[in-house]
Every structure is written in structure tokens, then in C-alpha cells.
Chain A
């Protein structure tokens, strides 16, 4: 009987430990794999890259929205903060930043029709201890780990709208501060 209770106790403790260790590791692992896959596909670090118009043939992440034009920047803050400059859009649009744990730590409107949307949205991403005194009037986004992702979404349900969104990319910056 005592042996059974010892075994049961060991089961309960290790079950709980393994469950929460694995559960907490899943988002970071998935995000890490997505980053690795993007870079393996030629996506450079700290550089905006427009993804092809979403279709069944080119889905990079689960549940992509086919009505949106996406641009992504893989961020590594190891050597310092990163600056994002993104022009506004004449329909729904957003600039968002995701932490290594998949949290959406920042979302700013790019919709030029919405009150308060700047012509160029300027954001500086940094870890909690990095100096951002050179950021000027940029919005500051703090993350815990140096790995992050930035994403531009622009409503582009037609090829013409997608092309117009692509034409804005030369004006968009994702670079060390």
C-alpha cells in the first residue's frame, strides 16, 4: 500500500511539472520555429519583406487572412533597439509587434481615415534594459527577450490594392536604431 501511495504521489507531482513546463514552452518553440522557417526561406533579419498575396499554395502560418497584404520583419535586439517606420494606408491597416512568447505587445493603426493615425508611424522596439534615448518622439515598445516579430497588415482584397500596398514598402523601415 505504501509503495502504491509513493508511486501515485510521484505521478501527480511529475505530471503537474511536465504539464506546465511543456505548456509554457510551446508558444516560444512555435514562434522560434516560425522565425527559423522564415529565415530559411530567405527573409533577412531587420528588414521588411512583403509576403506574396495569400493563397493556398503559399501559406506560411496557420489561418492566414487572404484579404490582407502582410509584411513581416524578423527582429533581433541582441545588438540594440530596432526602429520601425511605416506609412499609413487608405483603409484598415495595423502595425503590430509580437514577443518571443507570441504576445501581441503593440498594435498601432495605419488607417489614415482614423483620428490620430500619423502619416508615418514610428516605433522603437527594445528590451527592458536597452537605452532608447535616441528614439526621439517614437513610440517605445519593450519586450523581455531579444527575439521579436513585427507585422504590417493592410486591407488589400484585390490585386490592385495588394500592388498599392507593395508600392509603400520602399518607404518602410525596419533597422537598428
Chain B
């Protein structure tokens, strides 16, 4: 009887341990972040990304979702999947994303679908960045629209074919103050939901 219990325990233990590890890495399900998480008004990051000091959960999660990410001294990455009211970002809705000057040499905002890839569309409106903001005279106070169809005017990131998505804010060569105190130094961009298409 003890041998049967031992074998059954081992089989279930190996299966559950393997499944939980794959789930933590985001291979099965959305993945798990344990420790090191920075949260600036819903924009989430992890200061141990790319670092040898990252815990095994973060290392596995980033390998799956952000392979070849740089350490925080070179670049930091913030991701947000919800609007200002806490609702999941979706291509069925139109959003205005607004922000101020960022504490970094250069920054960009890019849209990714639920599989962590750029959405499969040909709109050539994948991201918005400091270069575009400067050209638009908005480096200090910028905004753009995210929607499945292009707006009548203004800056745009296309969410066509994205389904549920998130936005990643990349800051290259971040200021030392941001690295030291991200949650109070980052001016978090707002994501305002403007309208939604009716679901048929």
C-alpha cells in the first residue's frame, strides 16, 4: 500500500511541478511574476530583467515574453494592459494615450497582442516615439490615438487584428533618478477609453 502511495505521489508531484513551472514561465497561461515588480500607476516593470540576479521565475517569464531584454541601466520596459478605469485594452475600443516628457534619452510606446507579437496588420502604425513626438512639437506633452481604424487626424497606433493587447513603454538610457525611484519619477502615461464598437 505504501509503495502504491509513493508511486502515485511521485507521478502527481512531477506532473504538477512541471505544469506549475510552465505556467509560471507563461508557456501555459499568462505567467507569474514573483518579486522585483515595479508598478507606476498600472505601468508594470521588473528591475531584474536581463540581470543575472533575476529570480528563476522572472528569468523564465522574461525568456518567454521578452527575450534579449537589456538590463535597467541600458533600457527599462513598462507594460500596461488596462485603461485608466482598469478595463482590458481591446481592439474593439478607441483610446487616447497621453504623457509628458520621459526621464530617458529616448522612449517609444509599442502595441503587442496577447501572444506577445506585433499585431498582424499592414497599417504601418506599430508604435509612437520621441522622434514622432518631437516632429509633432509634442515632446513635452504628447498624445496619440490607439484604435483599429485610423483617426481623422493626429498620431495613431493601430490595434487592428490585435484582439486584447497591451502597450509597452520603452525608455532607453533612463535617468539615474528613474532607476532609483521609478514609481515616483516616471510620469505614467494615461490611457483613456474614448469609445467602443458595439459587439454583434
Report which A residues bind B (CB closer than 8 A). Answer: 2-4, 6-24, 26-27, 30-31, 34, 54-57, 59, 61-67, 91-92, 94, 96, 98, 101-105, 107, 109, 111, 114, 149, 151, 155, 157
Contacts and interface: CB of A to CB of B under 8 A. Distances in A.
A157 B24 CA distance: 34
27 contacts: A3-B1, A7-B6, A10-B7, A10-B9, A14-B9, A14-B10, A15-B14, A17-B14, A18-B18, A19-B20, A23-B24, A23-B57, A54-B126, A55-B126, A62-B64, A63-B116, A63-B117, A94-B75, A96-B68, A102-B59, A104-B50, A104-B51, A104-B69, A104-B71, A104-B74, A114-B173, A155-B131
Contacts of B13: 10-15, 17-18
Contacts of A10: 5-10, 13
A-B interface, 10 closest residue pairs, ranked by CB to CB distance from nearest: A18-B17, A14-B13, A10-B9, A7-B5, A104-B50, A22-B21, A7-B9, A27-B63, A19-B17, A62-B116
A65 B116 CA distance: 12
Contacts of B47: none
Contacts of A94: 70, 74-75, 172
Nearest to B50: A104
Interface of B: 1-2, 4-10, 12-18, 20-22, 24-25, 27, 50-52, 54, 56-57, 59-60, 62-71, 73-75, 105-106, 108, 110, 112, 116-122, 126-127, 129, 131-132, 168, 170, 172-173
A15 B17 contact: yes
A54 B60 CA distance: 24
A18 B170 contact: no
A103 B16 contact: no
Given A3-B1, A23-B24, A23-B56, A102 B67 contact: yes
